Amino acid sequence: MVEGKSFGRRLFMACNYLGLAIFATLCIAPFINLLAISFSDRSSAMGGFVTFWPVNFTTASYNLVLSTGGFYRSFVISVLRTALGTALGMLVTILTAYPLSRTGQEFRGRGVFTWILIFAMLFNGGLIPWWLTIRSLGMLNSIWALIVPGALSIWNVILLMNFYREIPSELDDAASIDGASHFDKLFRIYVPLSTPAIATLTLFTAVGHWNSWFDGMVSMTDVSRYPLQTFLRTIVVVSDLSAMNIDPSKMALLSDRALKAANIFLATVPILIVYPILQRYFVAGIKLGAVKG
Amino acid sequence: MLVQRTHPVQRSQSAQSWRRMRAYLARNWPLYAMCLPALVLLALFSYYPMYGVVIAFQSYNPAFGFTGSPWIGLTNFKFIFNLPDFLQITQNTLIIAIAKIVSVQVGALVLALLLNEVRHLGFRRVIQTLTYLPYFLSWVVLGGVLLDMLSTTGIVNLTLQKMGIQPIIFLGSNDWFRPVLIVSNMWQQVGWSAIIYLAALLSISPELYEAAAIDGASHLQRVFHISLPGIASTIILLAALSLGGVLNAGFEQILNLYNPVVYSTGDILDTWVYRAGLLSGQLSLAAAVGLAKSVVSMLLIIVAWTTARRYAGYRIF
């Protein structure tokens, strides 16, 4: 490619690099600031002296959060819902995408099934009938309320269905000649060959479960049953620190701010751990999209 | 006579088609078995709640369920449409949602165009890694960060103070609440949305740029005559699809950031439904607002999908 080397071009490139760098820094600056606050002592945090580096460094806030039972309990609930919810969600997605990827000739009734799905994407009963349904099924205060109702993601099904369709039909024909059933084909050909798509969907489903909090808020009546993000909301947004059951004497050296910040970061650690993996997968996805145009 | 004569033929035909049906099912029953979990989930958590919207036409009593409560026709709807609040929350919803759609799409497009000029791939990756991080965090986490940074002792007011500006109570001010919603929504979305535009830009043939350069087109001319036309279909597609979301102003974000002081600029349909229904127990009224929203949303999505299909060849199934 012919690159202009004019002064104007160089000036633009310098401004572009600088501008992008400033923008990216602004995007993460709030997290750095809060991280610094979480490691600062009471008077510095309360007085608003902390910018991007801890003042009077202390880990007291983290020690306190980790020494109370509330955080652990909710953490375990979140791990459980993420594991079970992702497993169930992916199983349903893998199963549902297969018949949809077949022709209407082979899967009679495909049209009807497609319309059932499309209508569910177009229309929903809204929050209140949904909540009344959960309640009438006796799911309130049960961890299943966080796992089962959202198990079917129609968008994910469509994505995987399109992936199945990209798989060469010769493989399918050869398997049919060898007498393979649909289950054989799904689990021995389609699933193994769709690993990149399934891995991406699994990661996004898991992140979605980890991050969701509203379902926990409306389907659990007791803080002790809250998943982590709902628990975090009680502390950080509702500002109800009593949920943590802290001995007041331990708060002497600590600010509410640092304590909230510590809760936020501890709840975010799992996302930060999977973030590099997540990124690798969706960057690969972008490349795929770019090649296909 | 006629019937008698054709009868044996029909019988053998039906016997034949019955045999074919059995052969078909013997081979293809797993297709139906695979749909079963999805159908059960849809029935329980999509279609049964859809049936539950009947409570919008009732004076719902939890003791009698969806079927046993007394019917009151359109009374709930008449009541709602006459509430002064209803006009306000509908207006808030539309203003916030449209401002968010426009700001995110324009921001993402500009970011993608600027990233596309970057030749140093390592630099581009670092910028992208940092800008789409907020997309993977919940609104509880982002809300917690915002509540702290916008407080009177937060980093924003700290900086303003150093510049000699009086502290601003951002989340307690009807002048500031919407700007906060829009900017913080961009913070979460722009980096992620830029991915789609950047992918479209990268798929434009480099030969086009080379030919234009040889013809003496400036960089800016190349942006306007090659880059933007090259991704026009992507822009149209995203604009069309976003139409389906103009009644979704960001429930999770607002629920974590608002307070009664800013209801007049920040209360939206979804937050109103949540408060009226689940906090105040006016289940029928809340369900009526929810139903009105769902019906209008459905019509908007149909228009969005039809437009996307006509102008950008978009298909769902």
User: CA nearest A71: which of A248, A228, A234?
Assistant: A228
In a domain, A119, yes or no: yes
Helix or strand or coil: residue A285? helix
Residue A260 lies in a domain: no
Instruction: Check A130 against B45: CB less than 8 A apart.
Output: yes
Quick one: pLDDT at residue B269? 96
pLDDT recorded at residue B24: 92
A204 shares its domain with A114: yes
The verdict on residue A26 lying in a domain is: yes
Residues A78, A156: one domain? yes
Rg of chain B in Å (alpha carbons): 28
Q: Which residue has the higher pLDDT, A68 or B58?
A: B58
Domain that residue A131 falls in: 69-245
Same domain assignment for residues A144 and A15 = no
Q: Is residue A23 part of a domain?
A: yes
Residue A284 in this model has a pLDDT that exceeds 90? no
pLDDT at A292: 35
- Lowest mean pLDDT, pick from A23-32, A210-219, A281-290, B173-182: A281-290
For the cut 80, the answer to whether the pLDDT of residue A133 exceeds it is yes
Query: What distance in Å separates the CA atoms of residue B219 and residue B228, rounded to the nearest whole number?
Result: 12
User: In this structure, are A100 and A32 located in the same domain?
Assistant: no
A94-125 tens-digit pLDDT: 999 999 999 999 999 999 999 999 999 999 99
- With residues binned 3-state (H G I as helix, E B as strand, rest as coil), the percentages for chain B, rounded to 5, are 80, 0, 20
Looking at the structure, do residues A138 and A208 belong to the same domain, yes or no?
A: yes
Question: Please, what are the domains in chain B?
Answer: 2-68 (no CATH), 83-312 (1.10.3720.10)
The mean per-residue pLDDT over the stretch A135-163 comes to 94
Instruction: Give pLDDT, residue B290.
Output: 96
pLDDT grade for B7, boundaries at 50, 70 and 90 = low
> Quick one: pLDDT band at residue A241, thresholds 50, 70, 90?
confident
Q: What is the mean pLDDT of residues B261-288?
A: 95
Supply the pLDDT for residue A1: 45
Q: Does A138 touch chain B (CB under 8 A)?
A: no
Q: Comparing C-alpha atoms, which of B115, B120, B100 is closest to residue B247? A: B100
pLDDT of amino acid A48? 81
Give the per-residue pLDDT at A291: 35
Q: In Å, how far are A222, A242, B197 from A289, measured between CA atoms?
A: 45, 49, 11
Would you state the pLDDT for residue A125?
93
Name the residue among A28, A51, A218 with its Cβ closest to that of B278: A218
- Of residues B46, B134, B277, nearest to A124 (C-beta): B46
Query: Same structural domain for residues A31 and A85?
Result: no
**Do A81 and A204 reside in the same domain of the chain?**
yes
Looking at the fold, whether A32 and A106 belong to one and the same domain comes out as no
CB of A185 within 8 Å of any CB in chain B? no
Name the residue among B38, B130, B138 with its Cβ closest to that of A27. Answer: B130
Cα(B127)–Cα(A94) distance, integer angstroms: 34
Cβ atoms of residues B241 and B304 within 8 Å:
yes
Q: B133 pLDDT exceeds 80?
A: yes
Examine residue A254 and state whether it is found in any structural domain, yes or no: no
pLDDT for res B3: 47
Residue A259 has pLDDT above 50, yes or no: yes
* pLDDT (average), residues A209-235: 95
Q: How close, in Å, is residue B3 to chain A by CA atoms?
A: 31
If one counts the domains in chain A, the total is 2
Report the pLDDT value the prediction gives residue A287, as an integer from 0 to 100. 46
Residue at A116 is within a domain: yes
Identify whether residues A43 and A87 lie together within a single domain: no
Q: Share the mean pLDDT of chain A.
A: 90
Verify that A91 and A171 share a domain, yes or no.
yes
ipTM entry: 0.92
Indicate if the pLDDT at residue B168 is higher than 50: yes
A165 and A213 assigned to the same domain: yes
Closest Cα in chain B to A15: B114
Burial profile A139-168: b = 16 or more Cβ within 10 angstroms, e = fewer: beeebbbbbbbbbbbbebbbbbbebbeeee
C-alpha to C-alpha distances, B13 to B1, B4, B28, nearest whole angstrom: 19, 15, 22
Distance from CA of A276 to the nearest CA of B (A): 9
Looking up residue A98, the CATH number of its domain turns out to be: 1.10.3720.10
- With respect to residue A271, please indicate whether it lies within any of the assigned structural domains: no
Is residue A239 included in any domain, yes or no?
yes
Same domain, A173 and A223: yes
Confidence of residue A2 (pLDDT cuts 50, 70, 90): very low
